[in-house]
Amino acid sequence: MSTGQMICSLARAALRVSCKRLIGADQRHETLEVYFDFQESNREEGMLNAAEQMTQLRAGSRNHSTQQIGTGYMKILYRTLLLAAFAVTPATAAESDPGPIIDVHVHAFGPDRFGPPGQTMCAPSEYWPARDPAEPMSKYLDAYSGHPDCAHKFKAPLAADEIRKRTMAELKRNHVVLAVTSGDADEVEHWRQQEPDLILPGLHLGRTGTLPDIAELRRLHAAGQLKVLGEIAAQNGGMAPNDPKLEPLYALAEELDIPVAFHTGLHAPGTAYFGSRGYRAINGDPLLFEEVLVRHPRMRIYLCHSAWPLEENLIALLYAHPQVYVDTSAIDWFLPRAEFHRYLQRLVEAGFAKRIMYGTDQMLWPESIPIAIKNIETAKFLTSEQKRDIFYNNAARFFRITDKTPSALRVGVSANK
Ligand SMILES: [Zn+2]
C-alpha cells in the first residue's frame, strides 16, 4: 500500500471517498485520483469541505486539484510527497482500482432517438411517478423525462458528436477497454472507425416490430461490422423471445457463432402508451427462451438488464441452461439503488456470480457510466473477486477474448476474422 493509499484508507470512512486509482508516480511523488461521492450528502458545501479535509490529510506539502464529474462525483487529484520510508513502494494500482472493464452494453444513438433532444434522466430514479389517465400523456412525460423529481439527474447532450465524444471519454476514464456498442449500422460504424480497439460493433434491432434482412446481416458480418447480434429489442417491438419471426436470427447467430444480446425486462415506464406501443412486460419473461435455447444449443446469448424484475424465472432459466449469461445494464444506474443491490445480491446468492457481466446501457447520458460502475464497486455483499468477475472475467469468458492486452483486445470468434 502506498502513502497516498494509506491516506485514502484513513479518509474513506469519514469522508465517503474512494481511492480510484494511482495515476502516476515517480521516486518522490505520487498522484492519486480519488472520488468523493456527494450523492448522499447532496450539498455543495459538503464537496468543498471534503476537498479541504483531504488536503489536510495529505502528508507534507502537496498540491491538489478538483473537478466535478457529471453531477454524481467530484474527482480530487492530489500529489503526495513520499516519505523516505515509503520511497521504495512500487507504483501499483489502488486497492479499489476496478482494473480493466468490459462494458457489454453501450449504444451509439443520436440525440433524437427517444423524441426531442435534451431529455433528462434520473440516476438513480427514486420512485416511479403515477399517471392519471384523465390527463394528457404529455404531463406524464414531463414528470418522467422532462422535469423528473429526483436529486440526481442528467440532461442529454443535444448533438450526436457530443454524445459520442463524452461517452468515449467516460469509457476511457473509467478503464473500459472494450464496449459492445449497438445502434443503427451507420452510426455504430462511425463510432468504430473513431475507436476501433474500443468498440465491438453490434446492431440495435427489432424495436419497431420489423427485422432486418438476413442478407443484410450477412453483409455487415462479412464487412466486420457485426460481431454481436443485438441488442435485439424484440420486446419493445411487440415480439416474445419465442416468436417464430425471430427464428432466422437465432439460426444465423448459431451458424456464424455471433453472440446474441437480447433485451429483457424494463423499458421506460408507460412506454406502451407513448413510445414502444408493442411493449408488454410479459414478453420479458426469461422462461420464454427455453424452447429457443433447446432448438439452438450452440447459441451464446445474454439477457440484457437481467430481466428485471422477474428474478425467480431468471434464476430458473440460468440454472437449467448454463450457457446463458446476463448483464447489469440500466438497472445499475436507473433503478433505485437499494433495489439494484437487492436484485444483484439475489442473483449472486443464488450462485450466478460467474454469469453476470457489467453493462451500462449508456444511451444519451454519458454520466451514467461512472454511476453504474460505482454502484457495483460499493456493493458490500460482493467480494473483490466477484467484482472482477462482473467487470471483466465473465465477459472475457463469454466473448472468448483470447488476447488480454488492452490495446489489442481480440475476440476469439470467427466473426473477427
Ligand atoms: Zn435494452
Average pLDDT over every residue of 277-286: 95
Per-residue pLDDT for 407 more than 90?
Answer: no
Residues 6+ apart with CB under 8 A from 396: 102, 404
Rounded distance, CA 283 to CA 263, Å? 10
Ligand 1 centroid, distance to 284 Cα (angstroms): 11
Average model confidence (pLDDT) across the chain: 80
Rounded distance from Cα 304 to ligand 1 centre (Å): 6
CA dihedral 385, 389, 392, 395 (to 10 degrees): 170
Q: Which residue's entry shows cell 523516505? A: 84
Separation of alpha carbons 240 and 222, rounded Å: 28
CB-neighbour burial class of residue 100 (10 A; exposed 0-12, middle 13-18, buried 19+): middle
State the pLDDT at residue 390.
Answer: 97
Q: Check residue 79 and give its pLDDT.
A: 40
- Ligand 1 centre to CA of 310 (Å) is 15
C-alpha cell, 33: 485520483
The residue type found at 11 is: A
268 Cβ neighbours under 8 A, 6+ residues apart: 114, 144, 145, 275, 276
Ligand 1 centroid to Cα of residue 305, in Å, is 7
- Residues 87-143 have pLDDT tens digits of 223 333 334 555 799 999 999 998 988 888 889 999 999 999 999 999 999 899 888
Cell 440526481 locates to 152
Pick the closest to residue 364 from 223, 149, 153 (CA basis).
153
pLDDT above 50 for 62: no
Residue 162's nearest CA partner among 107, 113, 110, 112 is 110
d(CA 332, CA 72): 14
pLDDT > 60? residue 184: yes
Query: What is the 307 CA–ligand 1 centroid distance (Å)?
Result: 10
272-305: buried (b, 16+ CB within 10 Å) or exposed (e) per residue? beeebebbeeebbbbbbbbebbeebeebbbbbbb
d(CA 1, ligand 1 centre) in Å: 40
Residue 49 pLDDT grade (very low, low, confident, very high; cuts 50, 70, 90): very low
112 alpha carbon – ligand 1 mean position (Å): 17
| Structural domains present in the chain | 3-86 (3.90.1150), 101-416 (3.20.20.140)
Please list all protein residues whose beta carbon sits less than 5 angstroms from ligand 1, which is an ion: 263, 304
According to DSSP, the β-strands at 101-108 and 176-183 are parallel
What pLDDT shows up at residue 403? 60
The model carries a pTM of 0.76
pLDDT for 66 equals 43
Task: Give the residue among 318, 321, 377 at the shortest CA–CA distance from 351.
Answer: 318
